[in-house]
Amino acid sequence: MTNGIAQGSADSAASGPGAKAGDASWFGHPRQLARLFTTEMWERFGFYGMRALLTLYLAKHFLFSDSTTAGLYGGFTALVYLTPLVGGLLADRYLGSKRSVKFGALVMATGYFILCFGGETAKPYALIDGQRYTVAVENVADGPTSGGKEQRFVISGAQKLLIQGNDDGSVALIAPGGQVARTVPKGGFEASGERSPLFVGLLLLGLTLVVIGNGFFKPNISTMVGALYSPGDQRKDAGFTIFYMGINLGALLSQLLCPLLADAVGWWAGFGLAAMGMLLSWSLIQFDGGRLAGYGEPPADLVQDRAVPIYLGALLAVPVVIFLFQNLMSAQSVVPGSGIMGYVLALPLMGRLLFGTFVLGVPVILLYAWRTGSRAEFQMMVAAMVLIVFNTVFWTLFEQAGSSLTLFADRNTDLSVFGLFSISAGQTQFFNALFIVTLAPVMSILWTSLAARGLEPTIPVKFGSALVGVGLGFLFLVWGTQNAGADFKVSIWWLAGLYLIHSTAELCISPVGLSMITKLSMARIVGMMMGVWFLSISVAQYVAGIIAQVASVATVGGQVTNLKLSLDTYAGVFWNIGLIAVVIGILLLALSWPLKRIMHGVT
């Protein structure tokens, strides 16, 4: 699981008395850690349970195209990583961490509950050479899992023509007798869905509230954990490791249970379970029985309580975020041959803001470091920026899990487990959390053992290894596509293998990233560099959506009509990004020696 925000506030200033070593009462740590661990676990239960359903919900219930689904998902996750910058600042200056966490939890829970109201499934239709036809569906359930017997028909007068995609991208319309009644050339068949504006509006409102609530919750629960320990307390790193396990434990549970409930009862039940997890998280802070007294309180020198204006301001931001989502969904395609400027002009507003801020911010900060810092400080800042850029590449590829890899699991993966039972496409995301929980202690022991021998890899080597690893994961899955069955589906174990490789790669980069920022940044702009770090991950989430759009496959009523074409499309995209990741990783490994020199002893 991506845990940058959880670690990011570990060293933040926070109000709290700090516990002494002798006060330990929970696995050698302050007893309050147990409550914060559980709070985070249930919050992550809600978030990752919702995330396991979101892509499938957009594609199957609202019948958005793959391109729209991937773009909306990428924009949502980008904002999830951007809003904590504002939420952390407001908590530090006005609200205090505790009130921020409680407010964020309630807003997120409201967002999850609103996602329960999706209405009826969108009504599919097709445009053939500009003329609209009704599409009838058979054996299609409104849930995350496809039964494998779905059929879709174009209604043309009294005829009911089965839709079948061809390998060349054309579409064949099959008459009841089995003969081809008509072949529509590639590009002449466009499938869509008739959606209720009310329920689309509720969808965007729900996502918006999750984004805003996350901004208040995510950075500040970590700040409270940091406040449990007095300055210099050697237990802090271990405490955050325990806290990090709560993230993955919550994700592991919800990514199994929410899709299961959505299949058994309905989408609303899956999202409702996520909301219940979020309410449990809120209740642990709201009804703490005084156990968290003195932790996460508002600043002591605060003259006027500004909580109400801040809460109202957060609600006033709702239409702004909804507008960004709508602008994202209505983005125009890039005109072929228009070049880089054409691509930039075609970007939705969210993309322009993210890329513009990042592209302009990096050189401006480096210029500041060059003018105000020493030679060594400037060189260390250059190293930090280089690693931030490579980190952006890693998360761009790693975060295909919630979009293109989930759709691949649904369409081209045999989800049977040893022939005993099957899991759903949404549940495949649990592999990452499972492997993190399993491998984190192993990797920790490995790094400690290597460090004792003076052999622990440097930060650039770990980053480079992570990039090579994420590329190898995709190449491993592409190898699996060469062994697909007659149904054009690969065994679930190829997908599990990808997640095993990706999880190992994640443990090479995620735990050390923010620690690297605090070590390499100039002391007077550490906070700004933290902002750049989170901005880079936000950009990565957005670009991940763009890459998932490249892997788009034509669908009718939420399902592909040619599984071979689907398999070939995913294999081609995964092969390309896998090779690119390996090459970029090798490049960073080659740069590790000069980077080590300008890092001036930081390891």
- Please answer whether residues 70 and 202 qualify as being in contact, where contact means their C-beta atoms are separated by less than 8 angstroms: no
Based on the fold, state whether residues 327 and 241 are members of the same structural domain: yes
Q: Considering only CA atoms, which of 496, 491, 486 is closest in space to residue 418?
A: 491
Tokens matching residue 86 = 């504002």
Q: What is residue 169's three-state secondary structure?
A: coil
Q: Of 170, 194, 218, which residue is a domain's last?
A: 194
Is 243 among the domain residues?
yes
Based on the fold, state whether residues 165 and 82 are members of the same structural domain: no
Is 75 among the domain residues?
yes
173: left (phi over 0), alpha (psi -120 to 50) or beta: beta
Q: How far apart are CA 596 and CA 603, in angstroms?
A: 8
Q: How far apart are CA 161 and CA 136, in angstroms?
A: 9
Q: What is residue 371's three-state secondary structure?
A: helix
Based on the fold, state whether residues 114 and 241 are members of the same structural domain: yes
Based on the fold, state whether residues 141 and 287 are members of the same structural domain: no
The DSSP result for 307-329, as a single string, is HHHHHHHHHHTHHHHHHHHHHHH
- The CATH number assigned to the domain holding 230 equals 1.20.1250.20
Q: Of 174, 194, 214, which residue is a domain's last?
A: 194
Please give the single-letter amino acid code of residue 341. Answer: M
Based on the fold, state whether residues 227 and 110 are members of the same structural domain: yes
Residue 62: C-alpha distances to residues 122, 136, 251, 267, 408 (Å): 5, 16, 25, 12, 18
**What's the length of the chain?**
603
Based on the fold, state whether residues 37 and 104 are members of the same structural domain: yes
- Please answer whether residues 69 and 55 qualify as being in contact, where contact means their C-beta atoms are separated by less than 8 angstroms: yes
Q: Of 162, 194, 226, which residue is a domain's last?
A: 194
Based on the fold, state whether residues 86 and 188 are members of the same structural domain: no
**Half-sphere exposure in the Cβ direction for 446 (13 Å, CA):** 10
Is 77 among the domain residues?
yes
- Please answer whether residues 537 and 382 qualify as being in contact, where contact means their C-beta atoms are separated by less than 8 angstroms: no
Please give the single-letter amino acid code of residue 172. Answer: A
Q: How far apart are CA 115 and CA 100, in angstroms?
A: 23
- Tell me what pLDDT residue 12 has: 42
Q: How far apart are CA 341 and CA 339, in angstroms?
A: 6
Based on the fold, state whether residues 175 and 228 are members of the same structural domain: no
Is 355 among the domain residues?
no
Q: How far apart are CA 296 and CA 279, in angstroms?
A: 19
Q: How far apart are CA 233 and CA 231, in angstroms?
A: 6
Based on the fold, state whether residues 252 and 316 are members of the same structural domain: yes
- Tell me what pLDDT residue 185 has: 92
Is 20 among the domain residues?
no
Is 178 among the domain residues?
yes
Q: How far apart are CA 57 and CA 148, in angstroms?
A: 18
- Tell me what pLDDT residue 237 has: 67
Query: What averages of pLDDT result for each successive group of 10 residues across the chain (603 residues)?
Result: 48 50 68 90 95 95 92 94 88 89 96 96 91 88 81 88 89 90 89 94 97 91 84 74 83 94 96 97 92 86 86 95 93 59 72 88 91 92 94 94 94 93 93 91 84 88 96 98 94 97 92 79 79 89 91 84 92 96 97 93 81
Based on the fold, state whether residues 205 and 294 are members of the same structural domain: yes
Q: Considering only CA atoms, which of 19, 451, 127, 90 is closest in space to residue 305?
A: 90
Tokens matching residue 69 = 């689904």
- Tell me what pLDDT residue 53 has: 96
Q: What is the DSSP letter of 457?
A: P
The end-to-end CA distance of the chain, in Å, is 24
Q: How far apart are CA 390 and CA 374, in angstroms?
A: 25
77's CB contacts (< 8 A; 6+ apart) are 399, 402, 541, 542, 544, 545
Q: How far apart are CA 416 and CA 279, in angstroms?
A: 34
Residue 372: C-alpha distances to residues 360, 378, 525, 533, 579 (Å): 19, 9, 11, 21, 40
Based on the fold, state whether residues 59 and 38 are members of the same structural domain: yes
* Burial class for 555, CB neighbours closer than 10 Å (0-12, 13-18, 19+): buried
Q: What is the DSSP letter of 120?
A: S
Is 320 among the domain residues?
yes
Based on the fold, state whether residues 67 and 138 are members of the same structural domain: no
| Adjacent-strand bridge partners of 270 | none
Bridge pairing between strands 421-422 and 416-417 = antiparallel
Is 180 among the domain residues?
yes
Residue 202: C-alpha distances to residues 114, 119, 195, 197 (Å): 6, 10, 12, 9
> Which residue is listed with tokens 């075609």?
346
- Tell me what pLDDT residue 340 has: 54
Q: Please report which residue ranges of 163-266 form alpha helices under DSSP H.
A: 197-227, 236-264
Residue 156's domain spans which residues?
123-194
Domain count across the chain: 2
